[in-house]
Amino acid sequence: MVPETAKQPFEGDFADIAWCPGCGNFPIRKSLIAALQGLELDPRKTVLASGIGQAAKMPHYVEAQLFNGLHGRVLPAATAIKAVNPELTVIVTSGDGDMYAEGGNHLLHCIRRNPDLTLLVHDNMIYGLTKGQASPTSPRGMKTPVQTVGVFVEPFNGPALALALGCGFIARASAGEGEQTTELIMRAVRHPGLAVVDIFQPCVSFNKLNTYAWFKEHTYTLDDHDAGNRAAAFERCLESDPLPLGVLYENPNPPPTFEGQLPAYAVDDTPLWRRKPGPADAEELLAAYRV
Amino acid sequence: MVPETAKQPFEGDFADIAWCPGCGNFPIRKSLIAALQGLELDPRKTVLASGIGQAAKMPHYVEAQLFNGLHGRVLPAATAIKAVNPELTVIVTSGDGDMYAEGGNHLLHCIRRNPDLTLLVHDNMIYGLTKGQASPTSPRGMKTPVQTVGVFVEPFNGPALALALGCGFIARASAGEGEQTTELIMRAVRHPGLAVVDIFQPCVSFNKLNTYAWFKEHTYTLDDHDAGNRAAAFERCLESDPLPLGVLYENPNPPPTFEGQLPAYAVDDTPLWRRKPGPADAEELLAAYRV
Amino acid sequence: MPDNHTDVSIVLAGEAGQGVQTVERLLVRLAARAGLHVFATKEVMSRIRGGVNSTELRVGTRPVRAFVDRIDVFIPLVNQTMPHLQRRIGDETLILAETSRIDIHPGAVDVPLTAVAEEVGKALYSNSVALGLIAGLLEIDAGLLGEVVGEHFSAKGGEIAEANREAARRGRELGRGLVEDGRFSKTVTPDGDKGERLLLNGTRAVALGALAGGCNYCCAYPMSPSTGVLVELAARQDELPLVVEQVEDEIAAVNMAAGAAATGARPLVTTSGGGLALMSEGLSVIGNMELPLVLHCAQRPGPATGLPTRSEQGDLNLALHAGHGDFARVVLAPGNIEEAYRLTHHAFDLALRYQIPVILLTDQYLVDSFHDLGELPELESLDDHIVKTKADYRRYAYTESGVSPRGVYGHGAGFVRSDSHTHDQDGHISEDLHETRPRMVEKQLLKLEGLQAEALEPVLHGPRDYQTLLITWGSTLEPAREALENTRRDDVALLHFPQLYPLPLAALEYLGSAERLICLEGNATGQFADLLLRELGFAVDEKLLKYNGLAFTVEDVADLISDL
Amino acid sequence: MPDNHTDVSIVLAGEAGQGVQTVERLLVRLAARAGLHVFATKEVMSRIRGGVNSTELRVGTRPVRAFVDRIDVFIPLVNQTMPHLQRRIGDETLILAETSRIDIHPGAVDVPLTAVAEEVGKALYSNSVALGLIAGLLEIDAGLLGEVVGEHFSAKGGEIAEANREAARRGRELGRGLVEDGRFSKTVTPDGDKGERLLLNGTRAVALGALAGGCNYCCAYPMSPSTGVLVELAARQDELPLVVEQVEDEIAAVNMAAGAAATGARPLVTTSGGGLALMSEGLSVIGNMELPLVLHCAQRPGPATGLPTRSEQGDLNLALHAGHGDFARVVLAPGNIEEAYRLTHHAFDLALRYQIPVILLTDQYLVDSFHDLGELPELESLDDHIVKTKADYRRYAYTESGVSPRGVYGHGAGFVRSDSHTHDQDGHISEDLHETRPRMVEKQLLKLEGLQAEALEPVLHGPRDYQTLLITWGSTLEPAREALENTRRDDVALLHFPQLYPLPLAALEYLGSAERLICLEGNATGQFADLLLRELGFAVDEKLLKYNGLAFTVEDVADLISDL
Ligand SMILES: Cc1ncc(C[n+]2csc(CCOP(=O)(O)OP(=O)(O)O)c2C)c(N)n1
Ligand SMILES: Cc1ncc(C[n+]2csc(CCOP(=O)(O)OP(=O)(O)O)c2C)c(N)n1
Ligand code: SF4
Ligand code: SF4
Ligand SMILES: [Mg+2]
Ligand SMILES: [Mg+2]
């Protein structure tokens, strides 16, 4: 029996978490840790990778390997982490600004590459860390100190985009629904290939519109939805009120992963970081340039 | 009657066009000029904007206003051109690398903003100017000097992406189908808001797979397609062989444009470049900071 | 040090979200209305709630415009401290704390803020009690206090306003009590200057300077500490001819600005170091397309994400060299709030006249610091220098100054071609290596000659026949100036550079007259000292570098001077 | 100038796509096999077909490694010219053209390449005729010619190979005829060096140097002239433990490299100036995360898109300063092909030992130029310096050298935290301004001390007791060296810098011993001269700057020396 005082895996000892009291990131952290524990992952073989934002601080509050890079730039880094050591489980935590604004291009191409990563987008429909400007998912009409006349452009639809580009696993969760979120994260991690989970997350400090109550009221859990059907999934992705929670799409025949197709692993599956060329290889190749 | 030797509008006098003989950009140029003439646009009120690539050289070969910026970065510039002077017609010419790789993030957010631009993506499924590396739209299996084992990631689906993000006009054309292309460009320019036309373009120097003949064989013209239906359009966008040509989607109730919603034009529609604040405004505002 | 200060330095420390900033704002207004001079600066953690933030308020008889280490009155609202703050608390510091709740400061005098607030109504009013407390210490008139508190809370309804007024009044009594008991004995009195005064911080000065310069397009991606300028301008987008657009990333910002400028707008981009780094390629296109752009970079400590909410002067090298290839640019760095206003306007002037990017370097300390000041200089309305094009218009026509007439799309009979390649005078791509390429490079760099000739001269403070010359750029000016004034040394002067590139040749004489040069910079390598050596051939004898995330304090500089 | 050259300079000009490059490749191989020394460089337009490209081939008795203006034999295959090429054609130049088709060169001697090719079979073979023509002029053995042509065309089938061999043979007769008629009288003879020789260009040298340095991850976005290195490595991805990934943009490249490095790989990124500009923010994160990265930047003329296929040395300032904030980096710039091989390997060594970004600056001229050379230096196998982590592992532990033991994910019992903020030794975000912030900045910059101590020394060529010292960096080395050797002046020497930052202190003595310093650079402002002043305090007396898109020629430098 584990003594009561001992920390469970991933929990760590984080006295000072910089989120606001009541922030939706707390329940997401709880769901995430429960999922990692549920999957019985080894914290030393699990990397939490992120960019910058409130959501992106998550890796500092979970006891695991950590890569906390630049705002918007986590996906190329995470792709390489998995490619250089496929034995690692790599989870990316990100915000709606981090992933859908600054990081948009990497998202597109990460979906195309399909590395075996789990991408959690904490979607609070606002820029939290920079104090409340609109994010790509802010609803039309939302006023902020920058969007003084209200947001007047179309909110970004992450799930629809992922679906259009052929992502193999797309789900939507809500921070307020802890168990469901744990469940969805577990499924996402198990999915072989890129799995995107857009998680509604109340920001109690800056988003007074999309609160816990609002999300409760404006979401429903998918029931008789055929998640293996891309056309059906598209219609679900376009639904806006209420918003569906659950697995929107899971490809029954998931395409091969990026790292799985690399020539470097064609005959030898030793993680790349343990293998490298050297002077002998260079000299052998030089032979081709001898006159 | 115009004397035979006189140049028609937009044609200009371009002795040395840097494209390869036979390149699909020539017929696209022809279609584009025909469309601009057909629309009776004033070349001095028409801006051709582009980034870098073979397609992106187009503005240098059409007699009109020109903005030829950085690789991948034309859309934010074009958005501003239209915002600063809504009297201009702005056409963007781009390549599949320029727009879908380096420029991907701007594409996402330009679709959200919905400025009244026409975006032509010359889709040759290859990087032409840099001599034949795979582009985001290169088909799986295509070998190039960089993709030596063949492309093994999912080709980028521009139309599906545009549809997912709510673009109001999405069409696909083929350089080999000159009149149809002219027609589609005219419709795109007329559409009030962002109109995306992905144009198949043979690259005779580097893409030996997707030739004029290949495109002829692997495309068909949409016939009884309901272009006003987003779900139907999604299915069309996912078709891969044969590939549909024509208008894939046109929103019957196009959303308002970016420039149309700017507070700067709420009461005064004089182009912004003719209006600006000044010291008097600053001084008036200073009053608020007097103790 | 003998206590000969004519001001009181009060520091409040609280959690993010605890309302310290409200107290700061009200107190600044209150003191200024009372005819006192006031300065306020804050240092906050990168979080929305919790942690320890602090605000320094200096209230004085004479103008106060700089950050000091010394704390006369420390009011902790949180039971936690930070070593960099703790260090500033000295034997003479009067610590006022609610000792029942806050027990980590041994010598603290109890001030029952919450208890009083609760007596008035609720604990929430304790900020108003604290405000009153300070007003009491400063012997500020009760009527004025009520007025300022009332104005602030009036929007929340009469009852709330009244309760806060009462809380402030009760707080003031606490303060008066301390004075009467002899616990606090510093007095600051109005200097009799009855002129109207302005209360601005650097953010507002930059935003207003931009508007004075005719800025009609601002595009930016939020990034601390530069976001304030975006917000300040956004607040005006429905009254002025002004587009304010939050873009998807910094690269979009600079390229959007390029499109705006090519069409005739006067764009401003605001960002911090990481954003400027991302705009490097775009800066190069502004240079090669010959477009006017003002780029405001509010510096924070790097590298990479660094300390998002703190201050540094570590992006000078980047401002000088961002972008590839050789092209003309200007780098300006205001030293204080007036200069921020004036130089932002000047940046537009240079950008428009030379068709170049002008980078305006500020820092978190400057943009976030407030003080009262007299009238700002009157600024001129700037010309666009736009011509109506003729049919034979050439965007990049060779001229003697290197500046070609600026045409814009659709205005006139010509075609305007803005191009990012090496191009000919028409703006078409050119690969003529023999003639066009070198000539076009020279044309663009020729602008540097004009720019150098009119470069803003450095400003000397202190005696003319100095032996030691302190050198500052940016926000180090005011702490250094105050330290210098305090010491009254006749052998030490201060040379402040508002323009960093191209450097004014007038600097040569100043530098040459010194026996000893000391450069003060908020970075770890002495980037400006490097520039002085490279551009003017002067190696400084000493560098005082600070890179812990805080601006220089008056004491930092005073210690340096007293060691001379 | 008396014609005392021991080499022949042959220039072919043709349209893009006309096969000039095939002739170049075959001729280089042919000449080298014939025991001659050979150098080839090309200059091409930014287009795939058409225009005017040219290739210079120098074939000599002694090693030839540099670009010359002088053209001994000019073979235009296109009826068009470019002023910068035309300028190089002198009275002594033998122009060989198919005069029926190419009529713009008045003094041309007719060589009916197409007619001969058609006689053999088809016009397509005319490249082989041209190859044979040159072989004839150079008196290269017919058997060897047949062998080389045969090898090249064997893949296309026996008939085609035979036809090309015949075309070459016929071309050789044309060439022999010109020699016999006295139209051409230069002879170059093998120098008797029978050792095996290598034929490399700069691209291959960088790629092989990277593999020798253990590079196992290359991520890049195509950009001329850097793409060759990507292609060269891609060709090896199925034989070696090596991932080669073409990414969506340059920002992805540098951030992907960060992830790869944090996981234990040895990443290489290859790009040109515009790409490096885009990576500026990423470079700063490599610095702050303390990760090993080699970044190859093949320079082309800027600003902005500039001249995509030409050469320049205009990105030095960017390489020195890209990124925000202060952090340690190294900038290396190989002067020739051996150095490109050696320094790329060295770059990995420094990156791995110091956990820093190392920027390797080449340029279009260097990466695209070929010459024969002897064996390359033997290089050592490099250690990863990776430790197996213990439970108390700290990624950013303070050490005396500033370098912390390198742990990687999943190797050992510890947690490895790579972070982009100001962080503590564990890699967690820190806002401790008093201790952690300054100390961590100092820790990172401490590396510069070690780096400076082991900085590569500059290399002196020419007499030890010089009065005038020419200074070069990068690919200017070889043209300058040849010019210097030709003049045999005993008062002029050449100092070449393989390492640009940190600068080796050993340079001080060299610079101090000169009466006159002249810096040769391929940019418009003298960026390295600026650096010398800034870092070492030496102001050069003169700068020879070239920025028309072409590398320095031997004559450029010879003219400079003869004017001394
Ligand atoms: C290059 C760059 N630009 C801007 C920033 C400032 N920044 C930090 S987080 C953030 C956005 C935060 O929004 P989101 O990603 O939605 O995260 P949240 O805080 O809401 O969880 C921004 C703009 C930065 N750190 N780096
Ligand atoms: C920042 C930057 N990166 C890379 C390049 C090099 N580059 C120029 S065009 C191009 C891609 C060309 O492909 P595409 O956009 O499909 O145009 P195409 O030539 O095929 O029409 C690249 C990678 C560049 N100019 N700038
Ligand atoms: S600002 Fe919003 S997202 Fe950030 S920690 Fe606070 S509640 Fe959470
Ligand atoms: S390379 Fe291809 S795309 Fe470019 S001009 Fe030639 S054929 Fe056209
Ligand atoms: Mg958010
Ligand atoms: Mg293409």
CB of A152 within 8 A of CB of B256?
A: yes
| Residues of chain D found within 8 Å of residue C452, distances taken between Cβ atoms | none
Nearest to D87 among C83, C434, C534 (CB): C434
Residue D227 has pLDDT above 80, yes or no: yes
Instruction: Give me the tens of pLDDT residue by residue for chain C, a chain 564 residues long.
Output: 335 678 999 999 999 888 888 999 999 999 999 999 999 999 999 999 999 999 999 999 999 999 999 999 999 999 999 999 999 999 999 999 999 999 999 999 999 999 999 999 998 999 999 999 999 999 999 999 999 999 999 988 889 999 999 999 999 999 999 999 999 988 898 877 667 789 999 999 999 999 999 999 999 999 999 999 999 999 999 999 999 999 999 999 999 999 999 999 999 999 999 999 999 999 999 999 999 999 999 999 999 999 999 999 999 999 999 999 999 999 999 999 999 999 999 999 999 999 999 999 999 999 999 999 998 999 999 999 999 999 999 999 999 999 999 999 999 999 999 999 999 999 999 999 999 999 999 999 999 999 999 999 999 999 999 999 999 999 999 999 999 999 989 999 999 999 999 999 999 999 999 999 999 999 999 999 999 999 999 999 999 999 999 999 999 999 999 998
| Residues of chain B found within 8 Å of residue D227, distances taken between Cβ atoms | 130-131, 133, 146
Ligand 6 centre distance from Cα of residue D455 (Å): 43
Instruction: Tell the burial category of C83 from Cβ atoms under 10 Å away from its Cβ (0-12, 13-18, 19+).
Output: exposed
Residue D25 has pLDDT above 50, yes or no: yes
What pLDDT does residue D234 have? 98
Average pLDDT, stretch A234-240? Answer: 97
Nearest to C230 among A104, A128, A146 (CB): A146
What pLDDT does residue D190 have? 87
What pLDDT does residue A1 have? 42
Nearest to A104 among C46, C235, C248 (CB): C248
CB of A207 within 8 A of CB of A199?
A: no
Give chains near D: 3+ CB pairs under 8 A: A, B, C
Interface check for B237 against chain A (CB to CB < 8 A): the answer is yes
Tell the residue nearest (CA) to atom 26 of ligand 2: B71
Find out whether the beta carbon of D275 lies less than 6 Å from any atom of ligand 2.
yes
Ligand 6 centre distance from Cα of residue D85 (Å): 31
* Domain spans in chain D, listed from the N-terminal domain onward: 3-194, 200-373, 386-454, 459-562
Instruction: Tell the burial category of C215 from Cβ atoms under 10 Å away from its Cβ (0-12, 13-18, 19+).
Output: buried
SS3 at position C71: coil
* CATH no. of C459-562: 3.40.50.920
- Across-strand partners of A140? none
Strand order in the sheet with C417-419: B219-221, B243-250, B169-174, B195-200, B117-123, B89-95, B46-50, B65-68, C417-419
Ligand 6 centre distance from Cα of residue B169 (Å): 22
CB of B130 within 8 A of CB of D224?
A: yes
Nearest to D332 by CA among D346, D313, D317: D346
D507: left (phi over 0), alpha (psi -120 to 50) or beta: alpha
| Residues of chain B found within 8 Å of residue D244, distances taken between Cβ atoms | 146
Give the residue on D whose Cα is nearest the Cα of C525.
Answer: D326
Instruction: Tell the burial category of C464 from Cβ atoms under 10 Å away from its Cβ (0-12, 13-18, 19+).
Output: exposed
What pLDDT does residue C1 have? 37
Instruction: Tell the burial category of A64 from Cβ atoms under 10 Å away from its Cβ (0-12, 13-18, 19+).
Output: buried
Touching B: A residues 118-177, CB under 8 Å: 136, 149, 152-157, 160-161, 163-166
CB of C39 within 8 A of CB of C82?
A: no
- List, as one string, the DSSP characters of C195-239: S--EEEEHHHHHHHHHHHTT--EEEE---TTTHHHHHHHHTTTTT
Architecture of domain C200-373: 3-Layer(aba) Sandwich (3.40)
Give chains near C: 3+ CB pairs under 8 A: A, B, D
pLDDT digits (tens, 9 = 90+) for D302-334: 999 999 999 999 999 999 999 999 999 999 999
CB of C294 within 8 A of CB of C233?
A: no
Instruction: Tell the burial category of B272 from Cβ atoms under 10 Å away from its Cβ (0-12, 13-18, 19+).
Output: buried
User: What single letter denotes the amino acid at residue D127?
Assistant: N
Average pLDDT, stretch A279-283? Answer: 97
- Across-strand partners of D40? D57, D370
Ligand 1 centre distance from Cα of residue A94 (Å): 10
A-B Cβ pairs (cutoff 8 Å, strict)? 91
- pTM of structure: 0.98
Find out whether the beta carbon of B128 lies less than 6 Å from any atom of ligand 2.
yes
CA of C190 vs chain D CAs: smallest distance (Å): 36
What pLDDT does residue A5 have? 55
Interface check for B156 against chain D (CB to CB < 8 A): the answer is no
What pLDDT does residue C158 have? 86
Find out whether the beta carbon of D494 lies less than 6 Å from any atom of ligand 2.
no
What pLDDT does residue D1 have? 37
What does the mean pLDDT of chain A come to?
96
| Residues of chain A found within 8 Å of residue C17, distances taken between Cβ atoms | 20, 205
Cβ contact, residue pair A81, D259, below 8 Å = yes
Question: Which atom belonging to ligand 4 lies closest to the Cα atom of B124?
Answer: 3
D474: left (phi over 0), alpha (psi -120 to 50) or beta: left
Nearest ligand atom owner, CA of C226: 1
Cβ contact, residue pair D533, C530, below 8 Å = no
* Three-state secondary structure readout of D369-438: CEEEECCCCCCCCCCCCECCECCCCCCCCCCCCCCCCECCCCCECCCCEEECECECCCCCECCCCCCHHH
Nearest to B146 among D47, D48, D231 (CB): D231
Would the CATH topology of C3-194 be identical to that of C200-373? no
CA of D147 vs chain B CAs: smallest distance (Å): 27
Q: What is the ipTM of this complex?
A: 0.97
CA of B220 vs chain D CAs: smallest distance (Å): 30
Find out whether the beta carbon of A130 lies less than 6 Å from any atom of ligand 1.
yes
Nearest ligand atom owner, CA of A56: 1
CA distance D323 to D276: 10
SS3 at position D311: coil
Helix, strand, coil percentages for chain C (3-state, nearest 5): 40, 20, 40
Fold of the domain spanning D3-194: Pyruvate-ferredoxin Oxidoreductase; domain 3 (3.40.920)
pLDDT digits (tens, 9 = 90+) for A152-171: 999 999 999 999 999 999 99
Nearest ligand atom owner, CA of D255: 1
Give chains near A: 3+ CB pairs under 8 A: B, C, D
First CA to last CA distance, chain D:
17
| Chain centroid offset of residue C379 CA | 19
- Angle ∠(A112,A225,A160) on CA atoms, nearest 5: 30
Q: Which residues line ligand 4 (CB under 6 A)?
A: B 19-20, 23, 25, 54, 124, 128, 203-206; D 48
Find out whether the beta carbon of D223 lies less than 6 Å from any atom of ligand 2.
yes
Burial A141-170 (b: 16+ CB within 10 A, else e): ebebbbbbeebbbbbbbbbbbbbbbbbbbb
Cβ contact, residue pair D437, C301, below 8 Å = yes
Angle between helices A25-38 and A178-190 (to 10 degrees): 50
Ligand 3 centre distance from Cα of residue D234 (Å): 45
Alpha helices in D454-496 (DSSP H): 477-487
Tell the residue nearest (CA) to atom 1 of ligand 3: A128
CA distance D167 to D156: 15
Contacts of B282 (CB under 8 A, 6+ apart): C208, C209, C211, C212, C379
CA distance A248 to A229: 9
Task: Determine the residue of B29, B93, B127 to mutate for testing ligand 2's pocket, defined as the one with the most ligand atoms within 8 A of the Cβ atom.
Answer: B127
- Across-strand partners of B117? B90
Nearest to B146 among D17, D230, D238 (CB): D230
Nearest to B180 by CA among B239, B246, B224, B91: B246
Cβ contact, residue pair C47, A71, below 8 Å = no
Average pLDDT, stretch A261-266? Answer: 98
Query: D116 — phi, psi (to 5°)?
Result: -65, -45
CA distance D84 to B199: 38
CB of C528 within 8 A of CB of C357?
A: no
Place of tokens 């590298």: C303
D276 sits in which H/E element: helix D273-278
The fraction of chain D above a pLDDT of 70, given in percent, is 99
Tell the residue nearest (CA) to atom 24 of ligand 2: B71
Find out whether the beta carbon of A95 lies less than 6 Å from any atom of ligand 1.
yes
* Three-state secondary structure readout of chain B: CCCCCCCCCCCCCCCCCCCCCCCCHHHHHHHHHHHHHHCCCCHHHEEEEECCCCHHHHHHHCCCEEEECCCCCHHHHHHHHHHHCCCCEEEEEEEHHHHHHHCHHHHHHHHHHCCCEEEEEEECCCECCCCCECCCCCCCCCCCCCCCCCCCCCCCCHHHHHHHCCCCEEEEEECCCHHHHHHHHHHHHHCCCCEEEEEECCCCCCCCCCCHHHHHHCEEECCCCCCCCHHHHHHHHHCCCCEEEEEEEECCCCCCCHHHHCHHHCCCCCCHHHCCCCHHHHHHHHHHHEC
- Across-strand partners of D7? D60
Burial C124-154 (b: 16+ CB within 10 A, else e): bbbbbbbbbbbbbbbebebebbbebbeebbe
User: What single letter denotes the amino acid at residue D326?
Assistant: D
The encoded tokens of residue C301 equal 């400590």
The two beta strands, B243-250 and B219-221, are parallel
Ligand 5 centre distance from Cα of residue A124 (Å): 5
User: What single letter denotes the amino acid at residue B212?
Assistant: Y
Query: D555 — phi, psi (to 5°)?
Result: -65, -35
